[in-house]
């Protein structure tokens, strides 16, 4: 039985960055290299790149916002900077207490 192309309802393709349906938190984007669909949740929005499981290449994440202060990499860099500054102050205070102050 053959169907006419107009008689078969086609599923509307949603653009990247929108959920598959209103009641699911699963999003879809397309790999620009192999054309495969990549499904992800909003928990991945802080990652700069997504990995295509078909061709194993990095794909830009449409939800990644580098100016977002809650970005994991920025938070990690800020946390490491604060740790280094605090450690340097503690070492400097210890050196002053140990060698500069008379006992």
61-99: per-residue pLDDT in tens?
A: 888 877 776 666 666 777 888 899 999 999 999 999 988
Distance of CA 99 to the CA centre of its chain: 47
Q: Is the pLDDT of residue 51 over 70?
A: yes
Q: Pick the closest to residue 31 from 9, 7, 54, 4 (CA basis).
A: 54
Quote helix, strand, coil % in the chain, to nearest 5: 30, 15, 50
80, 62 in Cβ contact below 8 A? Answer: no
The CA distance from 59 to 51, in Å, is 6
Q: pTM to 2 decimals?
A: 0.49
The CA distance from 59 to 81, in Å, is 29
């Amino acid at each position: 039985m053959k169907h006419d192309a107009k008689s078969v309802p086609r599923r509307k393709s949603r653009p990247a960055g929108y959920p598959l349906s209103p009641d699911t938190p699963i999003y879809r984007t397309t790999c620009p290299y192999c054309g495969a669909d990549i499904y992800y949740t909003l928990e991945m929005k802080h990652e700069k790149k997504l990995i295509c499981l078909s061709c194993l290449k990095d794909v830009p994440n449409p939800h990644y916002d580098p100016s977002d202060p809650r970005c994991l990499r920025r938070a990690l860099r800020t946390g490491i900077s604060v740790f280094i500054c605090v450690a340097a102050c503690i070492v400097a205070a210890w050196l002053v207490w140990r060698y500069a102050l008379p006992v």
